Amino acid sequence: MKNVANIKLAAQGRKNIAWARSQMGALLTVEDEFKKKQPLKGYVVGMALHVTKETAVLVDVLEAGGAEVVITGCNPLSTQDDVAVALHERGTKVWAWKGETHQEYYANLEAVVAELKKAVKQGKKALTIDDGCDLVTLIHQKHTDFIPSIVGGTEETTTGVQRLRAMEADDALKYPVVAVNDNKTKHLFDNYYGTGQSTIGGLLRATNLLFAGKTMVVIGYGSCGRGVSLRAKGMSAEVVVCEVDNLRALQARMDGFRVMPILEAAKVGDVFVTVTGNKHVIDGVHMKVMKDGTILANSGHFDAEINIDALKKLARKVTQVRPSLQEFKITDGSKEKNLYLAGEGRLVNLAAAEGHPSTVMSLSFCGQALALQYIVEHKHELQPGVVVLPGKVDDDIAARQLTAMGIKKDSLTKEQARYLTSWQAGT
């Protein structure tokens, strides 16, 4: 079975991993501790994460902590082939390449489960790391016999946590999974600054578009949508936000953006970015009223946000005009128009670019590594279900990042700490 792409890419992969390490100081402090404490000795970690240079650094950290790691991607278009090859060459078990078919994607997840089972037979205990919940779902649908051997798992993203909570509500989740996305040091940084910047990066690489003077429609004003809107504004685009949640729609307006229903926005937007975690938020009915030349992109986890089947149905011709850009030629009555789809509707920051900057992934992956340590240390208390880490883990990660950035800050005096926890003193 194929494991990775062209082995000749390994040297570039090693250089890219080294570059990522140079930006991930906070995570390297966890690596130093793991080397000494070996918290993951005797464990095998099965990962389904975007196989990027930053993920390779997380693999370094887990291996330094004593774990055996087996890894596949969590999206058919997000693997950085040079990184996957470098991991494979140095002996980490990896199944991932950019451009996997649907079948290959699931075969690779199965390969990870098979390796986990093999390692458990040899006496190891299993942990999982997921991004989007496909690995956990596969295990719960097809490998239920193996579940008792799994001590716990972690989940990286909003969509994955939503799926886990749905499993929990159905009483279907059979082992504890830490919602790393719920760490403040994850969604307030990775989703906000990371997705904000890298979505613009993906759009730029796919189109080389001038943002100034464009109307950019951001659909979903959550952690990611807020970041994307802010960055687009910084590039001098006019930003329009579409939301279904009252509070977030209000927040978007008060942050200075126009808010309108998607059907109205469809008529005025030049560029559309979906970041909802939902399905078909851009549908055929919207595509029909869009302007000639409109660009569509998604930065939410799955390629379900833009109804690509509807787009294909409307089009009489589809052309790959650039590496990450398809043109859909649509005849509308007597008029012709072109709509453009970036990154095949898969998360544009990873499909068309390199994903989040390493520094922001350092925060997220401190969360992943410390979550695994937490599961191992608390394995006798944890129940099946979604687990949220105590706030002190977030505080610890933020402190590591401040130190890595060379930032000093103030601390409360004893008197101030007392004042903040007392009620007697008033005006």
Ligand X SMILES: NC(=O)c1ccc[n+]([C@@H]2O[C@H](COP(=O)([O-])OP(=O)(O)OC[C@H]3O[C@@H](n4cnc5c(N)ncnc54)[C@H](O)[C@@H]3O)[C@@H](O)[C@H]2O)c1
CA dist 119 and 125 (Å) reads 8
Closest approach of ligand X to the CB of residue 317, in Å: 29
Closest approach of ligand X to the CB of residue 215, in Å: 17
The yes or no reply on residue 366 touching ligand X (CB under 6 A) is no
Closest approach of ligand X to the CB of residue 222, in Å: 2
Closest approach of ligand X to the CB of residue 121, in Å: 34
Q: Which is nearer to ligand X, 55 or 349 (CB)?
A: 349
The yes or no reply on residue 75 touching ligand X (CB under 6 A) is no
Q: Nearest Cα to 160, choosing from 192, 185, 128, 184? A: 128
Pick the stretch among 295-303, 333-341, 367-375, 379-387 that binds ligand X (CB under 6 A). 295-303
The yes or no reply on residue 191 touching ligand X (CB under 6 A) is yes
Within 10 Å of residue 100's Cβ, how many Cβ atoms?
21
The yes or no reply on residue 300 touching ligand X (CB under 6 A) is yes
Q: Which is nearer to ligand X, 205 or 301 (CB)?
A: 301
CA dist 39 and 127 (Å) reads 13
Angle of the 81-89 helix axis to the 53-64 helix axis, nearest 10: 30
CA dihedral 256, 262, 267, 273 (to 10 degrees): 70
Closest approach of ligand X to the CB of residue 56, in Å: 17
Q: Which stretches of 88-222 are assigned E, i.e. beta strand?
A: 93-95, 125-130, 150-155, 176-179, 215-219
Pick the stretch among 89-97, 184-192, 289-297, 397-405 that binds ligand X (CB under 6 A). 184-192
Pick the stretch among 133-141, 294-302, 401-409, 413-421 that binds ligand X (CB under 6 A). 294-302
CB 187, CB 210: distance < 8 Å: no
Closest approach of ligand X to the CB of residue 275, in Å: 5
Q: Nearest Cα to 129, choosing from 368, 375, 357? A: 368
Query: How many CA within 13 A on the CB side of residue 158?
Result: 21
User: Binding residue for ligand X (CB under 6 A) from 111, 136, 275, 297?
Assistant: 275
Pick the stretch among 40-48, 92-100, 217-225, 253-261 that binds ligand X (CB under 6 A). 217-225
Closest approach of ligand X to the CB of residue 177, in Å: 15
The yes or no reply on residue 20 touching ligand X (CB under 6 A) is no
User: Binding residue for ligand X (CB under 6 A) from 55, 154, 223, 373?
Assistant: 223
Within 10 Å of residue 91's Cβ, how many Cβ atoms?
8
CB 338, CB 293: distance < 8 Å: yes
Q: Which is nearer to ligand X, 46 or 160 (CB)?
A: 160
